[in-house]
A and B are shown apart, each in its own frame.
Chain A
Amino acid sequence: MRRRIVLVVLVVLIAAAVLVLRTLTQGPLAFAGGHMVALADYREADPTGVPQNLAKADQVKRGEYLARAADCLVCHTAPAGADYAGGLAIPLPFGTLYTTNITPDKDTGIGNYSDQDFLDALRRGKRRDGTHLYPAMPYTSYTYMTDADGLAIKAYLFSLPAVHATAPDNTFAFPFNQRWLMVFWSTLFNADARFAPNSDRSPEWNRGAYIAEALAHCGECHTPRNLALALDNGKKFAGAVTAGWHAFNITSDQGSGIGGWSDDEVFAYLATGHAQGRGTAAGPMGEAVDQSFSQMAPSDIRALVSYVRSVPPIASPDLPATLAPPAPASPKQGGATPDALGKKVFEGACVSCHDWTGVSAITPYATVAGTRAVNDRTATNVAQIVISGTMRHTPAGVVSMPAFGGTHSDTEIAAVSNYVTARFGSARSSLTDKNVAGLRSQTAR
């Protein structure tokens, strides 16, 4: 009985808060202004579907491209698990969510889904059995997808081998384990509307908007969330911490966003995961580059660049507007930490590639001077990359940073992260071993 009262009170409170939030919530494309037209009435090149070279390909091929662009694989595959068979653990503040099997297995996958079932799950967050998905599945982004594109993805998934695999149950605490509550969330925060082109913007911009919003779902990591965990598009692309990594500000702000980058730099970062002097993608963005952006047609990446750059500037108060220059060549000069451990770890494990200056003599991919990560005074991404390393596939071969998380303690990782930000950044971080343990626990695995 008490439980029921608590539940009712919670529902009322949440509903009230959420209604307020809802009135303040705007769509992901609201920033652009101009006139929206229904896709059917749009007279320019179709912004949906696949690029020109695949226009005549069969549905499965088109679906493969779109599934890549929507980056389904990364979340629906567990480490060392079969592709799309689910089971990746996503830690959330109220429990762990396990991603589902989306192979065509009839018992444990989506083999029994009709076309309509699939579109409902993809765009309305509604499963075949009528229950609701948690918005860890970015259906509020996929909702902008056309029928044709959604069904092409389904055709591709159904062309894959069926894998019999049941993901572990989510471990959500009450009331978050009350899946039916998601009906309200979905009603309030899912637009359940298809992409409508903006007739005041170029066809390239519209193509970029479709890729970014309906497929690649950039905002799911880069846009901050409101109290109900819905995207706060008033702060579109202003940066957020997602899955334990800082998804940085990618608005056109000069200092804390990417307004100072050239188009070519943004293009290179998306296509290869690296932009000279700007940094190298790692963590979830590294996965997005590997599994999604690097496999997109150059015309689509150009469209994305054109779109992303149009997002209005928002300055991040927590990021410095200027990036620190390279550090002195001598370890005796330059920024340091009061405690000697960070320098000790750095000179033992890091300096041979990253140099005392932060400008790598080995590969530009290892240059940390001038990157956002070392200039972030939370040192979130510095610690994360030390823990898990990264691997970039470049035209010249693989460039990798090894993971040090298995052999170095939280104390050592905190110390070296603080040393790195002190030496190469504009403000020294003050991570503790507890912070590092927290970062470890937030990453998907």
Chain B
Amino acid sequence: MEFNREEPPGVNTGFWRGVGSNNNVFAIESFIEGLAHKAGKDSIAFRRAHLDKTPRLQAALDLVREKSGWGTPLPARCGRGVAAQISFASFIATVVEVEVDDKGEVYLLRVTSAVDTGIAVNPDTIVAQLQGGLIFGLTAALYGEVTIYKGRVQQSNFNDYRMLRIDQVPNIEVHVIKSGEDPGGIGETGVTAGPPALRNAIYTATGVPLRRLPIDRQALAVKA
């Protein structure tokens, strides 16, 4: 089965950049993270071990491990999380590094992506597309809640539908792997890569396995 469409009654949902990969990659990569945790394995090594038939994604994981400082020690309540995926025929591995304060507020410290998107016609555009997509996806994961009350969406504008601001955006490094394969999609790839990597980073930093987005800060706060 590819997917099963479930729509809430009475609410019209439209297209969201990243479409089905948003839900799927988040669910899969959250689950894989749980398995790695259960197995007591390093998150990247665990994924790599199950990707023998997908060398392009293995290569992306190897590169992101090298470039993100994976494994170097971090202070308490800081953590790195990884997400690896094949979306839109592109192979991408992303590491997000976060800090979670005692009240559950999440700060982005660093984002590193390695991508094999086939022949890179214009690598600058690929980098820009991924940076933009990552910011969009991370914004949604941090703030993008839409609530419905008595049949109406409550959010009306950017005061109650918040955007990640420039001073909250960390360095985002994108490494494009040289490749002779057919070109894959890159416009929506970053959108889907940010949230699961963020979720797994929060899991590492706090031990709280979030299962829905946007993130629940109360669940992340240090219990008094």
Residues of A within 8 A of B (CB): 80, 344, 348-349, 389, 402-404, 406-411, 433
Contact = CB atoms under 8 A, between A and B. Distances in A.
B103 A406 contact: no
Contact of A344 (B156, B157, B167): B167
Contact of B150 (A80, A349, A403, A404): A80
B103 A403 contact: no
A433 B217 CA distance: 14
B159 A409 contact: no
B157 A402 contact: yes
B143 interface: yes
Contacts of B150: 80
B103 A402 contact: no
B103 A407 contact: no
A349 B167 contact: no
Given A80-B149, A80-B150, A344-B167, A409 B103 contact: yes
A122 to B, nearest CB: 32
Minimum-distance CB pairs A-B, first 7: A402-B159, A407-B162, A406-B160, A348-B165, A404-B159, A407-B160, A409-B105
B165 A407 contact: no
B31 interface: no
Contacts of B103: 409-411, 433
A231 B162 CA distance: 42
Most B CB contacts (10 A, CB to CB) among A80, A344, A406, A411 go to: A406
Interface centre among B150, B157, B165 (most CB of A within 10 A): B165
Interface in B135-168: 143, 149-150, 154, 156-157, 159-162, 165, 167
24 contacts: A80-B149, A348-B165, A349-B159, A389-B159, A402-B156, A402-B157, A402-B159, A403-B159, A404-B159, A404-B160, A406-B154, A406-B160, A407-B159, A407-B160, A407-B161, A407-B162, A408-B162, A409-B103, A409-B105, A409-B217, A410-B103, A411-B103, A411-B105, A433-B103
Interface in B149-208: 149-150, 154, 156-157, 159-162, 165, 167
Nearest to A412: B105
Interface residues of B, number: 15
A403 B162 CA distance: 12
Nearest to B159: A402
A407 B139 CA distance: 12
Contacts of A402: 156-157, 159-160
Nearest to A409: B105
A80 B151 CA distance: 12
Nearest to A406: B160
A186 B167 CA distance: 57
A403 B160 contact: yes
Contacts of B165: 348
Given A407-B160, A411-B105, A433-B103, 18 more contacts: A80-B149, A80-B150, A348-B165, A348-B167, A349-B159, A402-B157, A402-B159, A403-B159, A404-B159, A404-B160, A406-B154, A406-B160, A407-B143, A407-B161, A407-B162, A408-B162, A409-B105, A411-B103
A406 B103 CA distance: 16
Contacts of A409: 103, 105, 217
A123 B165 CA distance: 55
Contacts of B154: 406
Nearest to B156: A402
B139 to A, nearest CB: 12
A223 B150 CA distance: 38
Contacts of A404: 159-160
A278 to B, nearest CB: 25
B122 to A, nearest CB: 32
Contacts of A410: 103
Contacts of B149: 80
A411 B143 CA distance: 16
A402 B150 CA distance: 21
Nearest to A405: B160
Contacts of B143: 407
A433 B102 CA distance: 12
Contacts of A407: 143, 159-162
